[in-house]
């Protein structure tokens, strides 16, 4: 099953939103550090789910990435935002259970890799642009990862994750007048058949008159896949993040 075809059905709804056009070109460049805890499980076929914590010993990870957004005054064309996430984490653990993945049984000292690294390309329109900022658009979440399991006696089994998931994108920011401080939230969401994904952020920040800013908050990413490339997942990444940026 592929998610790419649903992007077409989301575009007309976004185009009807009546965007506000900026009067100038704007550029925002930042660096984000995210420290999520990882919970959940994955499986292949109809095998028993493999738990990240109790079976494989996963706990937490971190991701540092660049984010860039570009806004312009050209009517009809969406603004563009890019964000990358390196979510490649490996674990070695000893389990008393027999773990079955891709038809192969693994036990004892088990090595695994969970790579859900992806790039977000967001195409969005500004609906409001004053002390209340409201954006609506389409987030293309492009995965280039894999899940791998092996032990000391058995060769590794790997499922590649090469998917593009189109998600509805909504961002709201409220500036506190004359202070430089703001609060806000972003949410990207998709539900399709038995698969779903949600990426949400709650934030507080400060931007100086020179355009330098700092931001922090809580970011959560949940993904449930049902037989995508023979892979099933029920995974959650949840933790604090910090972002430093400059806004031209």
* Average pLDDT score over the chain: 88
Report whether pLDDT(248) > 70: yes
Averaged pLDDT for residues 33-47: 93
State the pLDDT at residue 73: 87
Q: What is the pLDDT of residues 16-30, one digit of tens each?
A: 545 665 557 889 999
Q: How far apart are CA 137 and CA 12, in angstroms?
A: 11
Report whether pLDDT(67) > 80: yes
Domains of the chain: 6-247 (2.40.128.90)
Q: How far apart are CA 171 and CA 195, in angstroms?
A: 23
Report whether pLDDT(213) > 90: yes
Backbone angles phi, psi at 102, to 5 degrees: 55, 40
Report whether pLDDT(75) > 90: no
3-state secondary structure at position 90: strand
- Residues β-bridged to residue 212: 246
Averaged pLDDT for residues 100-115: 93
Averaged pLDDT for residues 24-52: 92
**Chain centroid to CA 122:** 12
Of residues 157 and 97, more confidently modeled: 157
Q: 């049902």: which residue's tokens?
A: 226
Q: What is the pLDDT of residues 153-210, one digit of tens each?
A: 888 999 999 888 899 999 999 999 989 999 999 999 987 777 889 999 999 999 999 9
């Amino acid at each position: 099953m592929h998610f790419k075809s649903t992007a077409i059905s989301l575009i007309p709804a976004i185009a009807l939103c009546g965007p506000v056009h900026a009067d100038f070109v704007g550029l925002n460049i930042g660096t984000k550090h995210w420290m999520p805890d990882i919970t959940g499980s994955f499986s292949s076929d109809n095998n028993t789910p493999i738990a990240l914590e109790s079976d494989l010993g996963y706990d937490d990870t971190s991701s540092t990435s660049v984010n860039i957004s570009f806004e312009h005054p050209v009517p009809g064309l969406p603004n563009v935002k890019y964000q990358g996430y390196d979510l490649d984490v490996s674990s070695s653990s000893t389990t008393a259970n027999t773990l079955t993945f891709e038809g192969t049984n693994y036990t004892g000292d088990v090595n695994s890799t969970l790579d859900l690294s992806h790039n977000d390309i967001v195409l969005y329109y500004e609906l409001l642009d004053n002390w209340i900022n409201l954006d609506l658009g389409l987030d293309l979440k492009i995965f280039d990862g894999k899940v791998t399991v092996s032990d000391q006696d058995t060769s590794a089994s790997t499922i590649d994750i090469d998917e593009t998931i189109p998600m509805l994108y909504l961002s709201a920011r409220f500036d506190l007048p004359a202070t430089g401080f703001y609060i806000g939230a972003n949410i990207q969401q998709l539900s399709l058949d038995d698969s779903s994904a949600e990426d949400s952020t709650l934030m507080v920040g400060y931007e100086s008159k020179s355009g330098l800013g700092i931001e922090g908050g809580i970011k959560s990413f949940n993904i449930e896949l049902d037989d995508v490339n023979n892979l099933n997942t029920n995974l959650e990444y949840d933790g604090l993040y910090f972002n430093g940026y400059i806004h031209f």
